[in-house]
Amino acid sequence: MINVEQMAIILDTLPDPAFILTRSGKYVAVFGGRDKRYYHDGSSLVGRYISDMIKPDKANLFMKLISQALESKKLLIEEYELSNRDVKGLPDYGPEAPIWFEVRIQALSFLVEDEEVVLWVASNISKRHDLEIRLRELGHTDQLTGLFNRRKLEHDLTLHYESYVRHLVPTSILMFDLDNLKKINDSRGHHVGDEAIQAVADVLRLTIRKTDCACRLGGDEFVVILPNTGYEQAIQLAKRIHDCTRKELSQFSVDDELVTASIGVTTILPEDRSYKDTLKRADIALYEAKNKGKDRIIAV
């Protein structure tokens, strides 16, 4: 059998820190945290309160988690970030990336100082969190251009359509492709065609706003989502993209035929039953632009 002294040694050598916290947020005991790569000595916390150490917004979150664990009597698992800006007495600068923790909170079956208590075990998951973000970004990114892909387009359009239905927040769409790119591929090679596509991606990065979302659907077809943007403003943005694209693609030509862009413009309308209706209308406008001679903008 393990005796009390041995158990204390075991608890003290835990790699992740474990805290005993009261319902009022008081640290009554600290164990472990011996992985010096991630944690500092927490023994000075004993006798202090969360509100003494942590600024109100994050402290309120921690108190809410303690309350939930005590009320449910079940293991509570949550993730949260913590940075210098959350800790009292520290300057509001430091590492750009906050530290991410996964916390496991379990109500205990005894009282300390006449208060209910929980076991709070925090694990540093920053590396895992960064990897998850990177994998998510790769899943939403077009490999050739670095723009977003169809999966990201469908995800964002679903959210923007819901915002329109609930709050009438306008969202417009530009759909365009490149004119005469096939002639470039056939005469100068696909690698030159890829350079033209990449040039368009660079134009989009420079011309769209931070809130906009540029996606490559595949081939030479692109879609730009314009949140909080009505019909007339969308046309103006389309003209800017069209002009900049024409200038940038002037270096790509075959028999004096330039690579240009045909653009379809539309906005979410009350009769749209989903974002697919809006996207289809933008596609129809693009098709009309191609049929009317290319290198132009059609808005519907």
pLDDT at 155 over 70: yes
> For 3-19, what is each residue's pLDDT tens digit?
778 888 888 888 899 99
pLDDT over threshold 90, residue 114: yes
Mean per-residue pLDDT, 103-119: 96
Domains in the chain: ranges and CATH: 4-131 (3.30.450.20), 140-299 (3.30.70.270)
Task: Please report how the helices 190-207 and 231-248 are oriented relative to each other, as an axis angle in degrees rounded to 10.
Answer: 140
Selection from 265, 201, 211, 257 nearest residue 239 by Cα: 265
Which pLDDT score is estimated for 213? Answer: 94
**DSSP secondary structure letter of residue 54:** B
Contact (CB, 8 A) for 47 and 26 = yes
* Percent of the chain predicted with pLDDT > 90: 65
What is the per-residue pLDDT for 3?
A: 77
pLDDT given for residue 25 in this prediction: 97
